[in-house]
Amino acid sequence: MRIAVKLVCVSIVAVLSGCSSLNPFSSKVEPRNQPAALVNFQPTLSIRQTWSVAIGKAGMFYFSPAVIGNDVFVAAADGSIARLDAVTGNPVWRIKAGMSLTAGVGSDGNTIVVAGEKGVILAFDSNGKLRWKAQASSEVLSVPAVGQGLVIIRSHDNRIIALDAGTGLRRWIAQRAVLSLTLHTAPGIIIDGSSVFVGMPGGKLLALELNNGGARWEATVGDPRGTTELERIADISGAPVIAGEDVCAVAYQGKVACFNKSTGSVRWARPLSSDVGIGIDERFVFAADERGAVTAYTRDAGLNMWRNDKLANRRLSTPTSFGRAVVVGDSQGYVHFLSRENGAFLGRVGTDGSAILSAPVVAGVNLIFQTQSGAVVALATE
């Protein structure tokens, strides 16, 4: 079983004293898990880099760009935060948070939120001026969700907290059970209408009332099984995705599944183990499993349309639908463009050689990646 991510204890004792862990960014790779060699193919898609900006290293954390209109907000572990023009990459402003960061960026365009060391939450206005500072109960690894006048965060002790976007004052809190062992990943949070959908350790997808944190429903994406704690890890990976009346998610050692977002009833579910999120478009759900295979499922029924297994052990990022391609990054900084119709390779481009772990985001005609070494790269196709 591939464990490509750090394992951490999240009990109160662990918060105080720490615990042993596996380093997700270790350069040591077991011979049997060596990344597959890149296959040769005739490119049929022209790809060009439109801009690249250095923001700072991500360290052992996951930082994802946030795209709002013509702006891209990015952050790094050293406290760097920047607002970039999505078309040119030119910085509108660049600031230092004054502390190390562990997660970001969440934004609605007016409020920019990042998580700092020891659970500090920092909110800035659209001009980069500090608006407020708040304190979570433990480390925050998940990107804060910002919308409807609220900032929603999930701390590592499984507390989900809603803060007022204007003042930082707490509006509500929801608590879930703390597990002894979880993946050192960042299950995501999505605000949609009057609901907030939260991916959780233990394989649970929660739908909460946005105004008060009350539970609407809870669905199982990963069902912990096995005799050891390691075998029983079944955490939600990446952020849930919304499409029409569906919300879909994937779990490590679990499944990929879509649910009715109002009731939580299962639309379909298929066995899959992934430590990154899923992509979605009007026809397909795309998933990259822990072994490096990319699979496309029909969105309405979950039928398996194609599977590309030529990127084995390359530690793929969350897939993203982009034009006629579905795109994934890998641990060596390559970006792979696959046909969304049949999974065949269309094109490939390198970045800075470091891992691409966070989900790529679409900004108009550009697809934007952030590498672990701190390059923010915009790609376009012709």
> Under a CB-based contact definition with an 8 Å cutoff, are residues 367 and 328 in contact?
no
The answer on pLDDT for 24 being more than 60 is no
pLDDT for 4: 41
* Token output for 130: 């500090």
* Amino acid occupying residue 38: L
* Mean of the per-residue pLDDT values of the chain: 89
pLDDT for 185: 65
Who's near 28: CB < 8 A, 6+ residues apart? none
The domain made up of 27-58+280-382 has a fold known as Methylamine Dehydrogenase; Chain H (2.130.10)
* Token output for 180: 């002894």
pLDDT for 229: 66
Residue predicted with more confidence, 236 or 191: 191
pLDDT for 58: 94
Over residues 231-250, the mean pLDDT reads 88
Domain limits of the chain?
A: 27-58+280-382, 61-183, 186-274
The answer on pLDDT for 97 being more than 90 is yes
Of 16-20, 98-102, 305-309, 321-325, least confident by mean pLDDT is: 16-20
Is 61-183 the same fold as 27-58+280-382?
Answer: no
pLDDT for 265: 97
Over residues 155-167, the mean pLDDT reads 95
The domain made up of 61-183 has a fold known as Lipocalin (2.40.128)
Categorize the per-residue pLDDT at 33 as very low, low, confident or very high, splitting at 50, 70 and 90: confident
Question: Considering only CA atoms, which of 358, 277, 306, 284 is closest in space to residue 66?
Answer: 358
* Amino acid occupying residue 341: E
pTM metric for this prediction: 0.89
Torsion angle, alpha carbons of 84, 90, 92, 93, to 10: 80
Let me know if domain 186-274 sits in CATH 2.60.40.420: no
Per-residue DSSP letter, 15? H
Over residues 357-379, the mean pLDDT reads 94
How far is residue 72's CA from residue 85's CA, in Å, rounded to a whole number? 6
Question: Considering only CA atoms, which of 242, 234, 245 is closest in space to residue 274?
Answer: 234
How far is residue 192's CA from residue 255's CA, in Å, rounded to a whole number? 23
